[in-house]
Amino acid sequence: MNKNWNRREFLQRASAATMAALAAGSPVSNLLSACKPGSNSKADTVILLWMAGGMAHTETFDPKKFTPYETGIEGNRVLSTFRSVPTILDGIHFSEGLQSIGNVMDKGTLIRSYVAADMGHILHSRHQYHWHTCYEPPQTVAAPHIGSWIAKELGPKNPVIPAFIDIGQRFTVGEAEELKAFHTAGFLGNEFGPFFIPDPTQGLDSVRPPVGMDVKRFERRNQLYNELINNSPVGEFGSDYQRESLKRSMEQAYALLNSPESKAFDLSTEPKESYNIYNTGKFGLGCLLARRLTEQGARFISVTTEYEPFKGWDTHENGNTRLVEMKRQIDGPIAQLVKDLDKQGLLDRTMIVLASEFSRDMMVEGRPDQKVQEQVAQPDILTDMKFYGMHRHFTDGCSMLMFGGGVKKGFVYGKTADERPCKTIENPIKIDQVHQTIYHALGIAEDTQYEVEKRPFYTTPDGKGKAVLDLLA
């Protein structure tokens, strides 16, 4: 496979795969699956907390030696730009600013050894595609998002709540088309795709007619929409399966509109004290919405800090000052989400996963033995505060958190080196293992597959992914 696809080639291949998925017939399931989905499961629901843009492990959940800023300091000396603070786990420290999450780590597992794929030139959209689908782009088949696999295999917990809900990502910002490439159910069909809520404060708008449109007019528009499907690319080029799948997705949305469960999308009904804890911005309120939707029976929910080039975790400069704000946005809401679900007795069957596409380092781009083209100007000697932080893409050691859903409590898995390069040195874990661990907890068989274009397509490439059972209780 070409390791140096640029954005244009990536989009061309992704678009071709999408059209191929539309033209394909109904995916044929494997009748010889090892077990019935959901049997012997440890979890019913998954919440993915996506730190979009590349969260530096040494600045968050795997801090190293702190070196304060001073003009003229050698960049290679700086491993962490924040002091480390103790967590509730003996001997385990987090980076300053994440104390609230540190105080709930007795309810979850810390992974310090995720290794991102070597795909040549590092692009955020390609690594995000890989993380969310488990397949390296581009593919000749439109690969489903992990949330779509789960929606397909387990179905909705509550028939009126979409099985897969995506909160916080807009497609009107940079790299929008690349992001769309993996926010899809692929060949599984639209009914298993994400229900988008770009802004959690406007979640109720997603389940009611637009302003100025009464319900009867909305019903007529829904009927017209079904007619338009036949004249759309899906109608013109799609298979019967794809057309019916799209219609079912609209029927589900219409059922939600008229259900009492739609009130879960209205954050104005949340008690003020609780709302204020979560109200650190879009991401924090996304966590609140995720909790409310979990209470109503959502199956898979993704909440993102949102990927927009050079913003958020995409720290190409001013890494230290930018991360002060990013930590403020995530620390309280994530900890409160864990505590609220635990208090309600829902955490045991709800798996929360916090992850990012890769990590960051001040000096190394890629990994020590596989360096790639540098994308950030980072001087050897720091002469300006804007250079103080982790600005280059680092793939050889990343942190993840997991809570609930059968995950071990108060457990630490893997280790990275304490000196640069701060790479994984114990128990490396890769994306197919992460996905298969989640599927295993949900009771989805590791050999789950569908026949597409006359060949099997598995949840992990060639069906070779293996669950890391050490992470599960």
Residue 460 CA from chain centroid, whole number: 16
Q: What is the pLDDT of residue 177?
A: 87
| pLDDT band (50, 70, 90) for residue 218 | low
Pair 326, 307: CB distance under 8 Å: no
The CA-based angle 340-472-285, given to 5 degrees, is 25
pLDDT (average), residues 404-417: 98
d(CA 225, CA 234): 13
In the chain, where are the structural domains located? 7-198+264-471
Q: Is residue 33 scored above 90 in pLDDT?
A: no
Residue 256 binned pLDDT confidence (cut-offs 50, 70, 90): confident
User: Would you tell me the crossing angle of helices 431-442 and 146-154 to the nearest 10 degrees?
Assistant: 20
Q: Indicate if the pLDDT at residue 371 is higher than 90.
A: no
So what's the pLDDT on residue 366? 85
The CA distance from 342 to 460, in Å, is 31
**How is domain 7-198+264-471 classified at the CATH fold level?**
Alkaline Phosphatase, subunit A (3.40.720)
Measured at the CA of 426, the angle between CA 98 and CA 100, to 5 degrees, comes to: 10
423 to each of 168, 375, 394, how far by Cα in Å?
A: 31, 20, 9
Q: 472 pLDDT exceeds 70? A: yes
pLDDT score, position 32:
42
148 burial level (CB within 10 Å; 0-12, 13-18, 19+) = buried
Q: Does position 34 have pLDDT exceeding 50, yes or no?
A: no
Tokens 């960051």 correspond to what residue?
360
Q: Which residues contact 349 (CB under 8 A, 6 or more apart)?
A: 42, 43, 44, 45, 404, 405
Closest CA to 247 of 269, 230, 260: 230
Residue 15 has pLDDT above 70, yes or no: no
If you search the block for the tokens 């958020």, which residue do you land on? Answer: 312
Model confidence at 215, pLDDT cuts 50, 70, 90, reads: low
Quote the tokens at residue 463.
């069906």
Residue scoring higher pLDDT (5 or 294): 294
Q: What are residue 110's phi and psi, to 5 degrees?
A: -105, 120
**DSSP state string for 138-184:** P-SS-PPPHHHHHHHHH--SSTTS-SEEEES--SSSTTHHHHHTTSS
Query: How many C-alpha atoms does 332 have within 13 Å on its Cβ side?
Result: 13
pLDDT of 144 strictly over 70: yes
Provide mean pLDDT across the span 217-242.
53
User: Is the per-residue pLDDT at 334 higher than 60?
Assistant: yes
Report whether pLDDT(238) > 80. no
Q: Which two tokens stand for residue 210?
A: 């637009």
Q: Which 8-state DSSP code applies to residue 455?
A: E
Q: Which of 154-163, 209-218, 366-375 has the highest mean pLDDT?
A: 154-163
Tally of CB atoms within 10 A around 420: 18
Q: What is the DSSP string of 359-419?
A: EEESS-SEETTEE----S---SB--SGGGSS--EEE-S-EEEEEESTTBPSSEEE-EE-SS
Q: Which residue has the tokens 């708008």?
A: 205
pLDDT computed for residue 207 by the predictor: 66
Q: What is the model's pLDDT at position 225?
A: 47
Higher pLDDT residue, 118 or 54? 54
Q: What is the pLDDT of residue 440?
A: 97
93 or 254, greater pLDDT: 93
pLDDT value at residue 190? 84
Provide, rounded to the nearest whole percent, the portion of the chain with pLDDT above 70. Answer: 81
Query: Which among 16-30, 169-183, 361-375 has the top mean pLDDT?
Result: 169-183
Q: What is the pLDDT of residue 421?
A: 94
Residue 35, pLDDT score:
44
Q: Is the pLDDT of residue 252 over 70?
A: no
* Amino acid residing at 54: G
Residue 185 backbone dihedrals phi, psi, to 5 degrees: -85, -5
Q: Which residue has the tokens 């229900």?
A: 195
75 vs 140, more confident: 75
The sign of the dihedral angle between the CA atoms of 313, 317, 320, 321 is: negative
Q: pLDDT-based confidence at 1, cuts 50/70/90? A: very low
* CA gap 64, 67 in Å, rounded: 9
The yes-or-no verdict on residue 204 having pLDDT over 80 is no
Asked if 404 and 352 count as a contact pair (C-beta separation under 8 A), the reply is yes
Q: Residue 139: which pLDDT band, with cuts at 50, 70 and 90?
A: confident
Residue with tokens 């002091």: 83
Question: Mean pLDDT, the chain, as a whole number?
Answer: 87
Q: Give the SS3 label for residue 265.
A: helix
Q: What is the pLDDT, as a whole number, of residue 229?
A: 45
Q: What is the pLDDT of residue 45?
A: 98
2-6, 174-178, 356-360, 418-422: the lowest-pLDDT one: 2-6
Q: Nearest 5°: phi and psi at 136?
A: -75, 130
The structure tokens 């204020």 sit at 276
According to the model, what pLDDT value does residue 234 have? 45
